[in-house]
Amino acid sequence: MRAHLRLAMSEIYVSTDVETDGRIPGPHSMLSFASVALDQNSQQLGSFTANLELLPGAAPDPDTAKFWSEHRTAYEATRSNTKPPQQAMPEYAMWLEGLPGKPVFVGYPAAWDFMFIYWYLIRFAGRSPFSHSALDIKTLAMAMLKKPYRDSVKRNMPGRWFAKLPHTHIALDDALEQGLLFCNMWKELRDQTS
């Protein structure tokens, strides 16, 4: 077996989605987040989800509040069974560290979701099992489609990449949806190069 395949098998792809009440962590709060751990064959190895209490002194962003007013069911889902972040984030870090391989953060767009997760992990758990890097599905699509970044959006991706799951704005649903999208892309890329 080639060395790069052995390395890939030790990686666990942790597709993560966040729901927030604003644009940046600190002034705004992460309302909910979820991660689905997948191996390179799309096998689900577990999931973690939490709804979080709001940060003291934080306030919703008006544009984000407007979005949530149009998606009331999804917003209400973020407000049930909330936990303080100082409890949820150490639990999350321990879950990540218990996975059977090196966790790799996967997001769409990774810059958005990772910004919140990393900030919350460092602030409330004191560490990030992801280190300080993330894998962006849109960037992978850019490379595979050979299109400019801003054209590498879902509507321009081939249907075979998608698992036909709804995008609900509920973190666990969306983390699974995008995780399977990534796995399908990664499998196709490996098949092309093997």
**Residue 76 maps to which CATH number?**
3.30.420.10
Find the helix packing angle between 110-124 and 137-145, rounded to 10°: 150
| 154-183 as b/e: b if 16+ CB within 10 A | eeebeeebeeeeeeebbbbbbbbbbbbbbb
Report the pLDDT value the prediction gives residue 194, as an integer from 0 to 100: 67
CB-based burial of residue 77 (10 Å sphere; 0-12 exposed, 13-18 middle, 19+ buried)? buried
Instruction: Look up the domain containing 96 and give its range.
Output: 3-193
Q: Which two tokens stand for residue 105?
A: 């953060």
Domain count, the chain: 1
Residue 92 pLDDT level (bands cut at 50, 70, 90): very high
User: If you average pLDDT over residues 54-82, what whole number do you get?
Assistant: 97
For residues 174 and 168, give the distance between their C-alpha atoms in angstroms, rounded to a whole number. 7
Segment 154-193, tens digit of pLDDT: 999 999 999 988 889 999 999 999 999 999 999 999 998 7
